[in-house]
Amino acid sequence: RGNYQAMAIKERSSKKSKDAKKEAEEAKKGAEEADKQDEGEDEQEEQEQDDEPVQKKEKRKKKSFKKQSKGIFTLDNLFWLVVFGCIMYYKGWHHLLYRTALKAVGNDPEQRLAAEKSLSEVTAGKPIDLVDLLGQLRFYCSRPESSSCATYMEKMPQVATSVKNGPGTWNRKPLRKEVSLELDRLVSDMSAVGKAPIADLRTIAKEVVSSTPKKLRSELRVNALLDS
């Protein structure tokens, strides 16, 4: 009987120690989970704190942009704009701006006068040189498919005759490289348009080639027109 009691006491103490050990492990596990939860909350708070300055910066940028956009149309700026406009008008700069705008859209008054003058000489049966021809092509046929170029092509037989009877260049010297290349381009583009007066353009192409520097002649596109 004494042995049975001793064994029972031993079992109860062993069970108590196991229960105590289990409780200690559960307590430790709960403490670790609590620590992880606290760390997650701390990280979230830090992230929110980091995001706040970014949002404030974006708001400041938007406010500063609005202030700048409003500042453009202030009375002071409008006043100085009017003053600048008056100075431009007094100095005559508005004429320069007007001519520049016309040139940008291909309607230069000086170019128009020069082209009309040389074309009137053509209709009068007078000779013209290739520089005169270039002025006409620039004004009337900068876009070969345009209606103005189509109207100009109707006068091409007279133009070709005036160029052929002319000296090539009035100073009897070869054309400058940029002039030759521009004439070459314009005449070639005109020949590609439907109903183009090929025979008259071929006459003009011969004059362009003969007045072009010898080193440059092989590069001209109008050679294809002459060979056709």
pTM of the model: 0.55
- Looking at residue 89, its pLDDT comes to 65
Q: Which two tokens stand for residue 168?
A: 């090539």
pLDDT band at 195 (very low <50, low <70, confident <90, very high): confident
Identify the pLDDT of residue 156. Answer: 96
> What pLDDT is recorded for position 116?
93
Question: Is there a contact between 153 and 197 (Cβ–Cβ < 8 Å)?
Answer: yes
Over residues 189-216, the mean pLDDT reads 94
Identify the pLDDT of residue 105.
47
The pLDDT tens digits of the residues spanning 116-169 come to 999 999 999 999 999 999 999 999 999 999 999 999 999 999 999 999 999 988
